[in-house]
Each structure stands twice: as structure tokens, then as C-alpha cells.
Amino acid sequence: MATSEAPLVPGSDIDDEEIELEPTVLAHHDDPTGPYPGAGVALVQGSLASLSGEIHDLRRSRLGAAALFLALAFGLLVVWSLFATSAVGWQATVTLGLRFALSAVVAGLLFSRVELSHGQVQITEYVLFGGCTLLLALNQYVVNLDLMRHDNIPALIAFMKNGVLGIVVLMVLYGMLVPNDPKHVAVVVLTMGLVHLIALTLVVEHPDVAEELEMLRMTEHAGSNVLSLMIGAALATYGAYVLHGLRTELHEARKFGQYQLRERIGAGGMGEVYLAEHQLLKRPCALKVIRPGIGTDPLVLARFEREVQSAARLAHPNTIAIYDYGRTDDGTFYYVMEYLQGRSLADLVRERGPIPAGRAIFLLRQICAGLAEAHALGLVHRDLKPANIFIAVQGGVCDVAKVLDFGLVKPTREPEAVALTAEHTVSGTPHYMAPEQAAGDPALDGRADIYALGAVAYYALTGRAPFQGDTAFAIMVAHARDPVVPPSQIRPDVPADLEQVVLRCLAKAKNDRFPNVKELAKALAACASVVEWDEEKAEAWWVELVRAAPATAPDLTTAPPSTTRAAESKSV
């Protein structure tokens, strides 16, 4: 299967097409407790994915929806009461107006950007429903007392029924919409009903009208009102019980062994990536699973397992770390990686433009170090590209380059290894593919990765890939046939010595390239621009990025990971 990701450069002729495998790019959330507070997503204290945490995340939005619904309903009733001919008088209009104002203020607060803690949201919940209940009870007391004094029994009965209906609506709205434990809901809605009954009792027992209403108290109306309130409370409690059970089942269904999923943060051709947490260690991590529907494909599963096994053999800090691997009871495969904070190189260049020569050298040397370990173990990555290079902030160190996605790794020292791509097919991303790789040469070695790294360096320095074309085939032909436009012709500030290193990486014949990544790293270290960037300057850049947000810098909390989309398979 071929896939392609969004164009890396505006106006490019073709998207980066990746044949056989789509990349997975980890999310770029930042830890608010780390060296750059304010740049990241606030993780729930204690557990990333506890049920209480999920309910807290949901409560504010649901409570806001309830407040908005009540504001609209009370607003319409206020307008209706102003024009309706009714015996209830101005008192009902005033209490309706107060309920409208309360609901509108709460809705405005909940839908605003004001930060509210768990306790503050809970207090807002009680203020909204408690306030509406008390105002409704006050309305019932004042208006019903006035109707009784005027001996308007039909209007009295009708208004009592309307009050009961109003409190039942509040009960059901609270139980069905606001996420809470069913026991908690039962206590709240029963309290609502009790407050309403107390208000009605105070009216009936008032000394000015007690004698006239002695018979009314014995009629079926009082009993039906109590029954209606009990039915409303039962319905709200049962609804909360059902919904709470469904939330619990969904929460449990999102577990993978000891790992609890929180949210999806990326998608690729072989699977999806979720922010997750180990239930015992309470450590955030990234969990990758095979997409439903393709888990039965033996070739896909073999690639998935090889990706895990290959990456797990690597221990270099510039390679993505693998924590765990397994499968669920239904046969779904998954593996667990370290959770990275930062940006992919593709995102970084797309959003901030080409990077300075010193920073490019700083990152490229780290990538060479990570690849050196892989090549020493006989592993060729075959899919190096900007989307698979992650620039992380890790352990207080900035600009830590990480090599991701070993889904197309090729073992060169295991003759007995089963080939996981068909003969005469091409695997990789055309914009960053070595000529011998595009030609389907089965004898690939580390120099194919050196070519791809040269193309990545070209992109980092200029903001565009070395070759463009209308089709994947045209791009691969250009890699094999056309001369490379020197980076300095696109960006005059690219130093001559660094340009020579990049062009040697992009040599058509693999023998003309650097023999290995260690030699490439030495050549990069010899460039004059190597002194222009270090860890201190990297830290200053990230701090400035955070300070500039949200006015001029990308929002690291909400910016999505690199998006991908599927395309038809292309092979030559």
C-alpha cells in the first residue's frame, strides 16, 4: 500500500509519497511541569486516564451545554410571560429572569477560556442546579400563595403542575447530561424534589389560607405531584446509572494490558498512535496499535513485529526507545514507545522555515550517531525523511534528534530473514529515496540512508526536497538522472563547506558518497558553522518559542501532528 503525507513545501508538485508504509509521527505535547511551562498540555494528576479524570474533562463541556440549554429555555419563557395574559402576575416573570441570568452567566463562564479546577467546576455545577431549584421553589411559594389568597384554584393547580414539570426537567437534565456517579445523582435529584415539596408544603400550611385549603390538601393533586417528583428522580438516577456504566465499559475497553489509552495523537499506514499510561508506573508513553481490519494480514503483522524487534535492539539516545510489546485478547498487536515532546523536522521547517546551518549540523550529527548503531547491527532504515526525524525536548535538554519509524527497516546481516516486500517493488518515500533504492536494488546498505539523510539536510536548509515531480515515478527518475541544484542557489546563506557535504551525500553512485555515517558525522563536525549552535542556543530558541505563543509561534498544545492520507500503491 502506498501512502502520502501533506505537501512539505507550499506549491510543490507532488506530495511525499511513501510506498508500502505510512509514517507515524508522535504528538508534540510539552510537559507543563518541565523546563518550559505553558507550552504543553496539562496532564491529569495521578493518572492520565483514570475514570475520574475522564469525567472531569467531560463535566465542564456537558455542564456548559446544560447551562446554555437552560438559558435558552428560560429566555423564551421570559419573553412569553411578558406578552401572555396570565393570572400568575409579575412574580413569575421576575424569577424566570433571575434563572435566565444565572444560567447565562454560568454558560458564559464554562465556555470561556478561564481555567477552572475540578473543585471549581463542581461548585459551578451546584450553583447552577441549586440556584435554579431554589428560584423555582421561591417562585412556587410566592405565586401559589398569591393564587390561594385570591381563591384561584384552577390557576393554582395548573401552576403547581408546571412547577413539578420544571423540577423534573432539571432532574433529568442533571442526571442525563452532567457526568456523575449514580449515587451522587440520586442524592442531588432527591434534594431537588425535597426542596420543591417543602415550598409547596409551606404554601399549604400558611396560616392565612390553611382553612380554605383543608380539602385541597386531601385531593389527588398533592399525591400526583409527589409521584411525579419521585418518577423524575428515579428516571434521572437510572439514566445516570446507565450512562456511568457505559463510560466505565468504554474506559475499560481502552486498556491494552497494563496500558490505559488517553487520546489518539497520530495515525500511520500500519496503525494508530495513542497517548497512554502504564497503570502501575504512571509513566506517559506512546502506544501504537495495528488498525482494525488489517490485523489478519500476515505480511502486515510480520512488518509490525519486525519494526518492534528491530527498534528494540537499538539503545542509542537518538533513536526512539521501545518499552514493551504485546497483543490483546482479540489479537490486536501493539507496542509502547517513549512519549516525545517537541516537533518533527517536517513540522518545524513547514511552520518556521529553513533552519540555520549551525542548527542543521547540530541535528544531523545526532542522527548520524543514532544511525551508526543501527548500521552496525546490519539495519538499514530505508525511510529517513523530515517526518521521521523528531526534534525533542527531553530531560531538560533541547534539540534532541530522534529517529522514528523502523517499519521499513531492512536487515542486511540476516540472510535467512524473510523478505517482507514483494520482488521488484519499491519501498520508501520518493522525495528522499536513493537511486538504487528506487531501482529496487535488493543489496541496499547504509549508504542508502546516507543519501536520504542528504535529502533531509537539503530540505532542512532550503525548505524543499532536492527533486520535484508530478508523479512518484517522475521523482524517482529525477533522483537517478538529474543533477542536484546546489542548496546555495536556493538559499544563498548556505555555507560552501556544508553544501559540499550535502551534495556528496546526494551522489548518484553509492561509492561516491560517504562510506558510512561516522565519516559523514566527521565531515559535518569539520564545517565552520558547527560552532554556531549548541545546547544553550537550542534552549534559548525553545524558550523564545514558548514566550512568543500564541501571538507568533505555533501552539504546541493544540497543533496537530503531521497528517497523512492513503493513496494507491505504486511500484516499479
Q: What is the pLDDT of residues 472-517, one digit of tens each?
A: 889 999 998 999 999 999 999 999 999 999 999 999 999 999 999 9
Is residue 267 over pLDDT 90?
no
Domain boundary among 224, 253, 282: 253
Range of the domain at 152: 51-253
- Say if residue 483 is in the same domain as residue 502: yes
Q: Which of 512, 396, 540, 524 is nearest to 456 (CA)?
A: 524
Task: Please state, as a whole number, how many other Cβ atoms lie within 10 Å of the Cβ of residue 319.
Answer: 22
Burial of 422 (0-12, 13-18, 19+ CB in 10 A): exposed
User: Could you give the C-alpha distances from 31 to 36, 40, 43, 318, in angstroms and in order?
Assistant: 8, 5, 8, 20
Domain boundary among 193, 227, 253: 253
- Say if residue 249 is in the same domain as residue 264: no
The answer to whether residue 40 sits within a structural domain is no
Is residue 15 over pLDDT 70?
no
For 511-544, write each residue's pLDDT tens digit.
999 999 999 999 999 999 999 999 999 999 998 8
The answer to whether residue 41 sits within a structural domain is no
Q: So what's the pLDDT on residue 549?
A: 61
80-117: string of b/e by CB count within 10 Å (b at 16+)? ebeeeeeebeeebbbbbbbbbbbbbbbbebbeeeeeee
The answer to whether residue 28 sits within a structural domain is no
More confident residue, 25 or 220: 220
The CATH number given to whatever domain includes residue 510 is 1.10.510.10
The residues pairing with 336 across neighbouring beta strands, listed in sequence order, are: 287, 324
- Say if residue 418 is in the same domain as residue 559: yes
Is residue 425 over pLDDT 50?
no
The answer to whether residue 43 sits within a structural domain is no
Q: So what's the pLDDT on residue 327?
A: 73
Q: Are strands 397-403 and 2-5 parallel, antiparallel or unpaired?
A: unpaired
Instruction: Report percent pLDDT > 90 for the chain.
Output: 26
Looking at the structure of the chain, the number of domains it has is 3
- Say if residue 440 is in the same domain as residue 557: yes
- Say if residue 519 is in the same domain as residue 532: yes
Angle at 328 between CA 322 and CA 330, to 5 degrees: 145
- Say if residue 230 is in the same domain as residue 82: yes
383 an active-site residue? yes
What predicted TM-score, i.e. pTM, was given to this entire model?
Answer: 0.57
The answer to whether residue 296 sits within a structural domain is yes
Please state, in angstroms and rounded to a whole number, the distance separating the CA atoms of residues 223 and 463.
Answer: 77
Domain boundary among 299, 314, 336: 336
- Say if residue 198 is in the same domain as residue 93: yes
Residue 14 and residue 472 in contact, taking contact as beta carbons nearer than 8 Å: yes
Q: Exactly one of 16, 347, 383, 399 is catalytic; name it.
A: 383
Is residue 381 over pLDDT 80?
yes
- Say if residue 331 is in the same domain as residue 356: no
The answer to whether residue 350 sits within a structural domain is yes
For 312-333, write each residue's pLDDT tens digit.
788 899 998 888 887 766 667 7
- Choice among 54-68, 169-183, 349-363, 530-544 with the minimum mean pLDDT: 54-68
- Say if residue 226 is in the same domain as residue 270: no
- Say if residue 528 is in the same domain as residue 474: yes
Q: Which of 370, 383, 410 is nearest to 521 (CA)?
A: 370
- Segment 103-113 shows an average pLDDT of 90
- Say if residue 180 is in the same domain as residue 276: no
The CATH number given to whatever domain includes residue 320 is 3.30.200.20
Q: So what's the pLDDT on residue 204?
A: 66
- Say if residue 142 is in the same domain as residue 184: yes
The answer to whether residue 45 sits within a structural domain is no
The answer to whether residue 115 sits within a structural domain is yes
Distance of CA 77 to the CA centre of its chain: 40
Distance of CA 372 to the CA centre of its chain: 33
Q: What is the mean pLDDT of the chain?
A: 76
